[in-house]
Amino acid sequence: MKDTVWHKYSFFWITLGFFVFSLAGHWIFAWYAFVDEQAAHGLPAERGSYLVEVLRDTLENWQSEFLQLMWQVAGLAYLFYVGSTQSREGEERMEAKMDAMLARMDPKEGEGVIRALDRKYLRK
């Protein structure tokens, strides 16, 4: 399997596809609802009025859903990887301590255990 941009960032591409599909669907169905509403009031369906209404609705939805979710994902990722107690730095420190302890037991045996664990868990 090649390490291409499509494979490396596949979650991003799938999420982007869902986003574009749902946004297009929202705007298309909103147009039909807008036309029906304007017809019920005896008014013409103008693109300018539609655009203002659909953008307002879209941004209102993003404010309540999308931005909240983005903060949860991005905020937690930032805090997780940059210095919180659960950050990767703490794990790396613990691994270094374990490596040092294993190396002290019997240098040859300890190095063998470390290499076996590195191979098993794909540690570089």
Residues in the chain: 124
Query: Is residue 108 one of the residues assigned to a domain?
Result: yes
Query: Is residue 91 one of the residues assigned to a domain?
Result: yes
Query: Is residue 122 one of the residues assigned to a domain?
Result: yes
At 91-109, the pLDDT tens digits run 777 777 777 777 777 777 7
Determine which of 24-28, 41-45, 59-63, 79-83 has the lowest per-residue pLDDT on average: 79-83
Query: Is residue 45 one of the residues assigned to a domain?
Result: no
3-21 in b/e form (b: 16+ CB < 10 A) is: eeeeeeeeeeeeeeeeeee
pTM beyond 0.75: no
Query: Is residue 96 one of the residues assigned to a domain?
Result: yes
Output the pLDDT for position 88. 55
Query: Is residue 115 one of the residues assigned to a domain?
Result: yes
Report, as an integer, the average pLDDT of 66-82.
74
Specify the 3-state DSSP secondary structure of 69.
helix
Indicate the residue type of 14.
I
The residues, ordered by sequence, that sit 6+ positions from 23 with a Cβ below 8 Å of its Cβ are: 58
Residue 30 to residue 33: CA distance in whole angstroms: 5
- Count: domains in the chain: 1
At 36-60, the pLDDT tens digits run 999 999 999 999 999 999 999 998 8
Query: Is residue 51 one of the residues assigned to a domain?
Result: no
Q: Which of 20-24, 61-65, 105-109 has the highest mean pLDDT?
A: 20-24
Residue 88 to residue 78: CA distance in whole angstroms: 11
Residue 28 to residue 65: CA distance in whole angstroms: 20
Q: Answer whether residue 6 shows pLDDT above 70.
A: yes
